[in-house]
Amino acid sequence: MGEQTPLPNALHPSVVDRLDPQFAEIFTKYQAPRVQANQVSYEEYNKDRSKYTFQICPGPYPEVGDIKIYKVPVPDPNGEIDVQVFFPTENAISKSGLQNKDGKFPAHVNYHGGGFVIGNLKTDESWCRQTCQALGCIIVNVDYRLAPEFPHPIPLTDSWAALKWTFSKADELGIDTSRVSVGGLSAGGHIAAGLALMQRDDSSMPKLVLQLLVVPAVDTRFMPLEGPADPNVPYESYIKNEFAPCLPLDRLRWFYQLWLGTDMEARKKITQDWRASPILASSHANLAPASLHIAGVDTLTSEGIAYHEVLKKAGTPSTLKVYEGVGHPFGHWDGELEKGKEYVQDTITALRKAYTV
Distance CA 340, CA 134 (A): 16
CA angle 256, 258, 262 (to 5 degrees): 75
Instruction: Tell me how far apart the terminal alpha carbons of the chain are, to the nearest angstrom.
Output: 65
Cβ atoms < 10 Å from Cβ of 305: 17
Establish whether 298 is a catalytic residue.
Answer: yes
Distance CA 213, CA 270 (A): 22
Establish whether 186 is a catalytic residue.
Answer: yes
Among residues 181, 186, 237, 291, the one annotated as catalytic is 186
Among residues 152, 308, 328, 332, the one annotated as catalytic is 328
Burial class (CB in 10 A: 0-12, 13-18, 19+), 193: buried
Distance CA 330, CA 4 (A): 28
Q: What is residue 50's predicted lDDT score, i.e. its pLDDT?
A: 82
From the first residue on, what is the mean pLDDT of each consecutive set of 10 residues in the chain (357 residues)? 74 98 97 92 88 88 98 97 98 97 98 97 97 98 98 98 98 98 98 98 98 98 96 98 97 97 97 98 98 98 98 98 98 98 98 94
Q: What is residue 128's predicted lDDT score, i.e. its pLDDT?
A: 98
Contact 269/41 with Cβ under 8 angstroms?
no
Closest CA to 234 of 223, 248, 246, 245: 223
Among residues 158, 176, 219, 298, the one annotated as catalytic is 298
CA-CA-CA-CA dihedral for 161, 171, 137, 61, to nearest 10? -70
Cβ atoms < 10 Å from Cβ of 285: 12
Closest CA to 116 of 275, 3, 331, 10: 275
In SS3 terms, the chain reads as: CCCCCCCCCCCCHHHHCCCCHHHHHHHHHHHCCCCCHHHCCHHHHHHCHHHCCCCCCCCCCCCCCEEEEEEEEECCCCEEEEEEEEECCHHHHHHHCCCCCCCCEEEEEEECCCCCCCCCCCCCHHHHHHHHHHHCCEEEEEECCCCCCCCCCHHHHHHHHHHHHHHHCHHHHCEEEEEEEEEEECHHHHHHHHHHHHHHCCCCCCCCCEEEEECCCCCCCCCCCCCCCCCCCCCCHHHHCCCCCCCCHHHHHHHHHHHHCCCHHHHHHHHCCCCCCHHHCCCCCCCCCEEEEEECCCCCHHHHHHHHHHHHHCCCCEEEEEECCCCCCHHHCCCCCHHHHHHHHHHHHHHHHHHCC
Q: What is residue 1's predicted lDDT score, i.e. its pLDDT?
A: 43
Establish whether 126 is a catalytic residue.
Answer: no
Q: Give the pTM.
A: 0.97
Sign of CA dihedral 320, 233, 36, 6: negative
